Amino acid sequence: MYGSLYGWIAAAVLFLLLLMTIVYVSPIVIHGHIRKTGSNDDIELDVKGLFGLVSYQMHIPTVEFYGRVFKLHQEMTGSGAGMTSKQEQDNEVGFERVMKVIDTFKQIIQLTNHLPSWVKQTLSKVQLKQWNWSTEVGVGDAMWTAMATGGIWSFKTTMIGVMSQLIRLTAEPQLQVQPNYSKASFSTEWSCMAQIRFGHAIVAGMHLFRNAKKSKGGMKEWQNILSKA
């Protein structure tokens, strides 16, 4: 009788350990896609974890500019634990709001212990699986179009160089810049796929929470800053 009971306990413990291991190594997969052609814009973000059991999608089909303000129409869908929620909203983003967000980040950086090193350590666990970025540019003049093409190439390669120092590139980035000498035009399409292990994300979250608690004012000060933002 006791042997059978111990056997069931051992099996349950092994099952829990196996389940925890699977959860730890399961990837959080992030897909991003941006397309801009003339005045047409389209932005998509898709995040999936636990083999698709938890997911979040954000779609911004339109971006409208009004002087120093641009308006976003957002469509967000989240699912998990067998439940799905959908939400749509319009947001206006202006210079003042951008500066307020920047100021909030500055306050958080100053408040939280070792935040830059935490960011660098967390990014080192991210794997970049795909990076495709194609651009077509023309300014109506051959010489200026060639200069714009070179500038865009330089910007893209510099960005890849910086990213390679922060995250793990597991695939060769695909970059294209196509000059259009016949007319003034601009279009670009970017897509990427990155992933991080669920366990690494949990550990990073725990370290951030610990650093926030140790900071001056603790979590309460964090909440005050984020609520004002």
**Closest to 44 in 3D by CA, of 224, 195, 157, 190:** 190
The pLDDT assigned to 81 comes to 62
The pLDDT assigned to 192 comes to 94
The pLDDT assigned to 94 comes to 72
Tokens of 42: 């389209």
109-167 pLDDT tens trace: 777 777 788 888 999 999 999 999 999 999 888 899 999 999 999 999 999 999 999 99
Helices 198-214 and 2-25, axial angle in degrees (round to 10): 80
The pLDDT assigned to 118 comes to 86
The pLDDT assigned to 46 comes to 93
Cβ contact 124:168 at 8 Å: yes
Amino acid at 50: L
172-228 pLDDT tens trace: 999 999 999 988 889 999 999 999 999 899 998 888 888 777 777 666 766 776 666
**Closest to 212 in 3D by CA, of 109, 98, 119, 71:** 109
Cβ contact 41:190 at 8 Å: no
Q: Break the chain into its structural domains and give their ranges.
A: 2-228
pTM of the model: 0.80
The pLDDT assigned to 3 comes to 57
Q: In what helix (H) or strand (E) does residue 74 lie, and over which residues does it extend? A: strand 69-80
The pLDDT assigned to 62 comes to 72
91-108 pLDDT tens trace: 777 777 777 877 877 877
